[in-house]
Structure 1
Amino acid sequence: MLNIHKKNVIYLGTGRRKTSVARVKLTPGSGKLIINGIPGESYLQFSPNYLRISYTALNILGLEKEYDIHVKARGGGLTGQADAIKLGIARALCNINPENRTTLKSKGLLSRDSRIKERKKYGLRKARKAPQYSKR
């Protein structure tokens, strides 16, 4: 999405993973990450792994300090939300410059991870775990 005024340019991207959904807005700025109104480091519990995952697309393109990131994340846990943020940022970067798409696609950042939890079946304890077999 492109606005006329250069200061108020907003690029949007949506990412999903497991049951998490992240709506990402990139605006030109200094590289701040805000998730649900909270600083990103605090929201992701200062985990270097979650922060590294979230910033992957920006690090590959060398744009770490170019854009402020505002995220509305909901559903799932921190792992799913971090991966959803990664996909949302990658999609927003494709809106900024179509040439970014080839780089991000070759690194596998534009494909959604479709693995979700398998449903529980009746007669079983979980999706596949069966009750203990008793011979007598």
Structure 2
Amino acid sequence: MKFAGLTLAYWAVLATALLPFLCGYLAKWGRLGKPRREGGYDNHNPRAWLARQTDWRARANAAQANSFEALPLFIGAVIIAHQLGAPQVRLDLLAFVFVVLRLIYIMMYVADLALARSMTWALALLVNIAILFV
């Protein structure tokens, strides 16, 4: 299935590539536009500011880092599957499931549901490996 010349799997790559930015924005939620002296987001030193966050903000930042870490394998798997002529419907479905699992993973991470988060992470990894073998 193609939209604007890209398969659904390639659109899933784009969606997955945007997830870390969603997590970063979530970590800064409610602090953007607030003065630094009042705990607002520090755009002059963003990494140090994020490192000082606690609770759900810290977990959103950790989800951001993990989302960046998950990208290379997913991008590579989708490209390899396309190059090897994987059945497009199966590839699209698996790529879509991967994106959904990564969204659930982020929600579980931010909500501090560690076991559910780890199980979702493992499922997403298995789906990613399945993409390689589709």
Q: Same fold (TM over 0.5)?
A: no
TM-score by length of 2: 0.31
Larger radius of gyration: 1
Q: Which has the higher strand share?
A: 1
TM-score, reference length from structure 1 = 0.30
